[in-house]
Amino acid sequence: MAPGLRSSTTAIDGLILLELPVHADARGWFKENWQREKMAELGLGDFAPVQNNVSFNTRPGTTRGIHAEPWDKFVSVASGRIFGAWVDLREGPGFGRVVTAEIGPGFAVFVPRGVGNAFQTLAPDTAYTYLVNDHWSAAAQTRYTYLNLADETVGIPWPIDLAEAEVSAADRAHPRLADVTPMAGRDTIVLGAGGQVGRALRAVLPAARFLGRADVDLSDPAAIEAIDVDGVGAIVNAAAYTAVDAAETEEGRQAAWTVNATAVAALARLAARHQLTLVQISTDYVFDGAVPEHEEDEPLSPLGVYGQSKAAGDLAATTAPRHYVVRTSWVVGDGPNFVRTMVGLARRGVRPEVVDDQIGRLTFADDVAAGIAHLLATGAPYGTYHLTGSGPARSWAQIAAEVFRLCGADADAVTPVSTAQYLAGRPAAPRPVHSTLSTARLRATGFEPRPMDPALAAYVATLVDRAGS
């Protein structure tokens, strides 16, 4: 009986060796060379190959490589036998690490992006076959990283001496390890670069490409389609139409749906086609606030146009196979926000009326950025996550009073009022009463949200110091 499908890790991070069941009889043999469902369970994840290549090699000793390509590769042997060599040519501590194996039809190797791949044929008429999860192009080939087959540092023990092997002139001319520039990780694009979260993301994703309104018109699907995603692994959409009350007008309604829903659908199509990870930043306004705390899988129930358009964006984002929908509430960062407004009122001696029947937690933009970076870096399971500050929920009036106190002003200067009182006579969108989001799912990935109260104290101190300098 043929052995069952098995996998084993190797000294190179992400390089997986698989043993494939080969069913043989008098007629020959049969194997499942690639079986997505079974192999995903063995650690290959959402590989999603799009191109199948075959290298046929007539004579033993034919040697090809070492090529590190900007995509993942699933390698197997259809006939014959090879000696395979893989060298980690990615940035990081594994750079230069080597794995070798002799394999025939009963084995396959998953080679992650940036790991150099090479082989030497050990039998005549060897067919070497591989799946890749991006399409080859001349432009993509310029992003290859190469290593000389005879590099003394890695010291690959070729069964057939390279002096006697069939090797192309190009492969003989590749650089030694000391002269190789490691392959960098995939790029990240951040949309909404000028917003509070967009600015915070610069600190945690310094190498990302930040695009603002002048760079991409999110109201134009063709402009989204034209975004250059060559070498990109993720798109973070920090752009949104956030004028909650203006969204209730005829003009605002169209703008909200265009940016918050239609644009997200276009981004999801782009991400799906190019196998990118889409990070969509969402809001507590997708819920009606009827329960004290909202879980990620609670049915969407937005009250106003802003929430409705964001809920549609959530659903659109989930059509990208690799997606994170990150819902936040009451965002505070580098830009106009509630806390900054209260600091200004406290300094001027204004005695504001602030609603006390809307309950939630502040979310600091730095924490949103850190949480997004965590999800991307750890490869957390795709899906929806809530990300807010931790600690007891507060009303807007309680937060305002605390801001006044932190500024050295009289906390009693803040007068609590109901939402109905505050909005009386004004055209306004409905607000959820309860905006508190459960963060248990995010914490399960290893990210611990920062407590809201000390974060607020630190933020206010920064504003006060800046105003006093």
CB 81 within 8 A of CB 181: no
461: left (phi over 0), alpha (psi -120 to 50) or beta: alpha
Q: How far is CA 88 from CA 12, 116, 143, 149, in A?
A: 7, 6, 15, 14
Which of 130, 241, 285, 459 is an active site residue? 130
Kindly report the CA angle at 308 between 280 and 428, in degrees rounded to 5? 120
Q: How many CB atoms lie within 10 A of CB 207?
A: 8
382 labelled catalytic: no
Q: How many CB atoms lie within 10 A of CB 2?
A: 14
Q: How far is CA 7 from CA 4, 17, 38, 130, 380, in A?
A: 10, 6, 11, 17, 22
Which of 67, 174, 294, 434 is an active site residue? 67
130 labelled catalytic: yes
The residue ranges of DSSP E strands in 58-160, in sequence order, are 63-68, 73-79, 82-88, 98-103, 107-111, 115-121, 126-132, 145-146
Contacts of 118 (CB under 8 A, 6+ apart): 63, 64, 65, 66, 67, 84, 85, 86, 87, 149, 156
Catalytic residues: 67, 130
